[in-house]
Structure 1
Amino acid sequence: MKLNIKDKFTKALPADPVQGSARRQVSGACFSYVSPKKTTNPELIHVSPEMLNDLGLFESDSKSDVFLNVFTGNDVLPNTKPYAMCYGGHQFGNWAGQLGDGRAINLFEIEHKNKSWVLQLKGAGETPYSRTADGLAVLRSSIREYLCSEAMHHLGVPTTRALSLALSGDKVLRDVMYDGNPAYEKGAIVCRTAPSFLRFGNYQIFASRQDNKNLKALVDYTIKHHFSHLGKPSKETYIQFFKAVSEHTLKMIIHWQRVGFVHGVMNTDNMSILGLTIDYGPYGWLEGFDFGWTPNTTDRQNKRYRYGNQPNIGLWNLLQLANAIFPLIEDAPALEAILNQYKTDFDDQSLKMMRVKLGLQSEIENDKLLIQDLEDALQMTETDMTIFFRNLSHFEKENHSEGLEVVRDAFYISEEITGSIKEQWNNWFERYASRLKEETLLDKERKEKMNAMNPKYVLRNYMAQLAIDDGDKGNYNLIDELFQLLKQPYSEQPEYEKWFAKRPDWARDKVGCSMLSCSS
């Protein structure tokens, strides 16, 4: 197994002088050196061929003992020193102080074909930032992260990636619903990858401690290695850096809204500085279209991280980042202008995105009202978002009276489509047909463009839960089936048609299929 190791982060930035995994407050350092916990009986369950290729590895490498032992934490490659990063963050709107990599251990950085990757184990044991936790992960959450990060990549959503999924051979105690009934579960480890795992919280921790020296060092490092096109550090460069982060963040969230993804825990320590979807915890896809839905049981009451609020939370988090790097800039109007631009850009990009979902190419003033009325109609009765937009591509503008039949499979209770609800839908389809007549695209061409924007297959929670249930019994075939399915989410894939279906009734209130906790 040959890897082109280039550890830049640990060579350029200050390390915690204290060794070991003992819980502590770490000051004046960007990271702490730690050792992964050795596992009892590691077993590789799945490896991403695409990620292997991106790292310059071969299938034969993934079958070696070296691969198994390195990516389950049992061996450390020569001339590498694993580490955990120090960061803070706002959790549910409140400053939480030091957080850090509590169950993530970065192994090393590599370069391949002019791209850099950090390889990180999630669930590999304790670090100084584990607080009262054990630093381990269970199979349940590891399957969800492994499948979802690769699925998001193939959907075209900016995301961290996953290389491998393995069992540790150890049991891990978890209280799934935080109800005082802990139980032992299978331990597991995911190797996840990204150009960087830096989060907003990495910068916030230094700002919170008035450690401007290390704040500057970290921002300068980030610009040099991830935003080098901005030039050498200066006040103007820092402003442009924040602008770039704002734009990347917005792009990511627009993609989330497009496919109906809800992150569930948009704390500032879960916000990537590169605008990547990071930390797949209690996420979910909209089943019924609902701006107020959140998959996170912890957020059930306030719904801070609900689907419709994700763009606003992105802005709130960017404000916290702006406050963190302000000491390097000291120009509030410049930062405020970028934050205000985010609001304008969201309105513009959201409208543009929805036009494409509806197969509209030209821009007409009334489109915004057409979209708003559609979103209102989608919430009149429980309507599956993925199926609705995918089937809408079959709509023919000359047959607007058949619109409801085209999308009927998206309704959970089609018997509710009567009276005023039916009238509202028919009115909308009539207006939609009239709008489509102003386009030059033929129905066939429009269908192709819509299907390239509206996925047929997404990783619904019940699908992941089925794979988890099988995995608990020692059967990992469904993991591979879903992995293969989700590599082509926009293709018809008739052999997988069973997955193009609404959430089954049995999954409506089943643990893991509707709402989830942060327990992992």
Structure 2
Amino acid sequence: MKRALCLCAVLLDSRKIVPMASNLQNLVNNFKDWKFKSPPSYASLPIDSNPDYTTPTAVKNAVFSLVPTQPISGNIRLVCASEDALKDILDLNPDVAESQEFIDFITGKILPEGGLCVSHRYGGYQFGFWADQLGDGRAHVLGEYINSKGESWQLQLKGSGETPYSRFGDGRAVLRSSIREMVASEACYFLGVPTTRAAALVVSDEKSVWRDKNYSGMTKQERAAVVLRLAPCWYRIGSLEILTMRKEHELLKKLCDFIIKEHFPEIDYESEDKYVTWFKRVAHKNLDMVATWQGFGFTHGVLNTDNISLLGLTIDYGPYGFIDHYYQFYVPNTSDDGGRYAFNKQPTILIWNLEKMYKAMAPILTDAQKQQIEEFLPTLNDYVERKVLETYLRKLGLHQCQDGDEKFVHAFLELMQQKMADFTATFKQLGELNPQEFIDKNSTENKWSLNKLADSGETWKNWVQKYEQRLASEGVTEEERRARMSTVNPAYVPRNWMLQEAIADAENDDFKKVKFLLEVLRRPFEVNEEAEKQGFSSPPPTWSYGLKLSCSS
């Protein structure tokens, strides 16, 4: 181990890391033996080494800045860790998370051998307006790890101190937002949503971070926390935009070439149309991702271009929310007064962002390549609409797209909205009864959300009749329908009220609810007896309706 300040020497280390075996017996049991790949692939990109790393700086001609972490102070405690991320991604025995060496690592006190601590430079459009340089204002990429499966993962701390991109921020994250990110990252992964991961979370006992949670002018001190996040890489649309806006076109080309070569091996790197192919791949990956969001009622909250991954992953969990009673205009973010990033607008916003990606790439494209992309862009709306439709059909136990399905699904969602039926519970309960029972009040009596639809009289009966006809036209048996629906309709999602209760306890050093949430959400499609007792699939408490989050974290 070495201190986080001792960073530059790793560039000289060309030591090869031998992948570790994936079985449990060969997991790393002592964190002192765990090492990064050296050098990381991103070391080949320009890295700014301005020693005044805590002063906001207009960085030029660089993709990263060399920045050491600034460890949080006080008595540090491990809030929780993801057993799956530790084992399956980092080849670590989960017991390692309790060790002082691992906690010091998450705190930012030490950097394992082979690490190269940097913060990423990017820009972005925020709420539709160009915000210029943004970057990792409180995050540090520590290094790359090649696991026993041959996968490359970049480890990043969030809340680990100031950088040239802090914009006069303090470089810290607080416990409440860190818990939300930790839980959501892992929950989305197990739901099947493309996402970054979170491996562990630590918190200080000192209230040293000033925050105005509700932008009410009432600032207060909160406890600093740090999350260890994992992703193959952290490049965003904004990573390209800042280079175009600053007219750093040579570096723009270098970065695009690098990302294609390192992270899209299926693309022919020598092809004249590699940029077009890459753009199409990024577009479809992101639209596939947003289609999964729609299927779980997930609303990101801040879909700025700096929050759109070039790998099509869900990143930067800020004021997100999972819909309780269905409302297509649901907005979880108090800062989004105009509803720009409302649930129903997410697909079109992703397309808007992808158009900005094309504009960012334009300086390195030929006229022929531009024409190909411009002919491709108008296809994206139909593409994502079909992907979202397919998502809803699967939730209803159907696989084939047929004429009239758009109206069929829309009618169901419209009825859910009118009756304020719960998004997650309704789909789950549909898979627990026969369609003939949907209109029987005695059968739906114990299905609290589906029962709301059963109160809709003829409108509901007509929809159920069409549903039965639709199942018959596809030849779906009742056994097949239930089996299909059980795999795509979760019993549990991380609802705001669950997180709020876990956060309240964690503020008092009781982390049991956070850990329990992580455990339940590892198997979101399975009924958990204790989760049922705690009301995880019951109607949300009345105090939780209308609960929104701010960007203050």
TM-score bracket for the superposition, by shorter chain length: over 0.9
Which residue of structure 2 lines up, in the alignment, with residue 211 of structure 1?
A: 248
Q: Check if 1:290 corresponds to 2:327.
A: yes
In the TM superposition, residue 399 of structure 1 has moved relative to its aligned partner by 4.3
Q: Aligned runs of 1:151-300 on 2, under 5 Å?
A: 151-171=187-207, 172-299=209-336
The count of corresponding residues between Structure 1 and Structure 2 is 512
In 2, the alpha carbon distance for the partners of 1:174 and 1:26 equals 27
When the two structures are superposed, what TM-score results if normalisation uses the length of structure 1?
A: 0.94
In the TM superposition, residue 413 of structure 1 has moved relative to its aligned partner by 9.8
Deviations 1:473-505 (A, max 9, x none): 110000111111000011122332221122211
In the TM superposition, residue 409 of structure 1 has moved relative to its aligned partner by 3.9
Q: Check if 1:481 corresponds to 2:519.
A: no
When the two structures are superposed, what TM-score results if normalisation uses the length of structure 2?
A: 0.89
In 2, the alpha carbon distance for the partners of 1:360 and 1:33 equals 51
Q: Tell me: CA distance 1:179–1:335, structure 2 relative to 1, closer, same or farther (3 Å).
A: same
Q: Match for 1:136: what amino acid? A: R
Q: 2:133 aligns with which of 90, 98, 120?
A: 98
Q: Tell me: CA distance 1:404–1:111, structure 2 relative to 1, closer, same or farther (3 Å).
A: farther
In 2, the alpha carbon distance for the partners of 1:231 and 1:264 equals 35
Q: Aligned runs of 1:438-517 on 2, under 5 Å?
A: 438-497=473-532, 498-509=535-546, 514-517=547-550
In 2, the alpha carbon distance for the partners of 1:408 and 1:383 equals 14
Q: Match for 2:306: what amino acid? A: D
Q: Match for 1:35: what amino acid? A: P
Q: Match for 1:26: what amino acid? A: V
Q: Match for 1:197: what amino acid? A: W
Q: Tell me, yes or no, if the aligned pair for 1:37 and 1:125 is still in contact at 8 Å.
A: yes
In the TM superposition, residue 174 of structure 1 has moved relative to its aligned partner by 0.6
Q: Check if 1:361 corresponds to 2:393.
A: no
Q: Tell me: CA distance 1:306–1:249, structure 2 relative to 1, closer, same or farther (3 Å).
A: same
Which residue of structure 1 lines up, in the alignment, with residue 79 of structure 2?
A: 45
In the TM superposition, residue 347 of structure 1 has moved relative to its aligned partner by 2.2
SS at match of 1:119: strand
Q: Check if 1:328 corresponds to 2:364.
A: yes
Q: Check if 1:86 corresponds to 2:124.
A: no
Which residue of structure 1 lines up, in the alignment, with residue 54 of structure 2?
A: 21
Q: Tell me: CA distance 1:60–1:373, structure 2 relative to 1, closer, same or farther (3 Å).
A: closer
In the TM superposition, residue 79 of structure 1 has moved relative to its aligned partner by 4.2
Q: Tell me, yes or no, if the aligned pair for 1:392 and 1:406 is still in contact at 8 Å.
A: no
In 1, the alpha carbon distance for the partners of 2:339 and 2:408 equals 27
Higher deviation after alignment, 327-336 or 84-93: 327-336
Q: Tell me, yes or no, if the aligned pair for 1:388 and 1:407 is still in contact at 8 Å.
A: no
Q: Tell me: CA distance 1:79–1:395, structure 2 relative to 1, closer, same or farther (3 Å).
A: closer
Q: Match for 1:90: what amino acid? A: Y
Higher deviation after alignment, 435-444 or 401-410: 401-410
Higher deviation after alignment, 399-408 or 163-172: 399-408
Q: Check if 1:303 corresponds to 2:339.
A: yes
Q: Match for 2:347: what amino acid? A: P
In 2, the alpha carbon distance for the partners of 1:449 and 1:109 equals 38
In the TM superposition, residue 466 of structure 1 has moved relative to its aligned partner by 0.5
In the TM superposition, residue 198 of structure 1 has moved relative to its aligned partner by 0.8
Structure 1 unaligned residues grouped into runs of 5+: none
SS at match of 1:132: coil
Q: Tell me: CA distance 1:304–1:202, structure 2 relative to 1, closer, same or farther (3 Å).
A: same
Q: Match for 1:486: what amino acid? A: L
Q: Tell me, yes or no, if the aligned pair for 1:381 and 1:411 is still in contact at 8 Å.
A: no
Higher deviation after alignment, 289-298 or 433-442: 433-442
Deviations 1:236-271 (A, max 9, x none): 001101011001101110100011100000000001
In 1, the alpha carbon distance for the partners of 2:451 and 2:168 equals 46
SS at match of 1:298: coil
In 2, the alpha carbon distance for the partners of 1:508 and 1:353 equals 26
In 1, the alpha carbon distance for the partners of 2:177 and 2:438 equals 44
In 2, the alpha carbon distance for the partners of 1:307 and 1:464 equals 20
Q: Match for 1:140: what amino acid? A: R
In 2, the alpha carbon distance for the partners of 1:364 and 1:81 equals 52
Q: Percent identity?
A: 37
Q: Tell me, yes or no, if the aligned pair for 2:121 and 2:134 is still in contact at 8 Å.
A: yes
Q: Aligned runs of 1:309-388 on 2, under 5 Å?
A: 309-330=345-366, 331-388=369-426
Q: Aligned runs of 1:27-66 on 2, under 5 Å?
A: 27-40=60-73, 41-53=75-87, 54-66=89-101
Q: Tell me: CA distance 1:382–1:405, structure 2 relative to 1, closer, same or farther (3 Å).
A: farther
Q: Match for 1:8: what amino acid? A: P
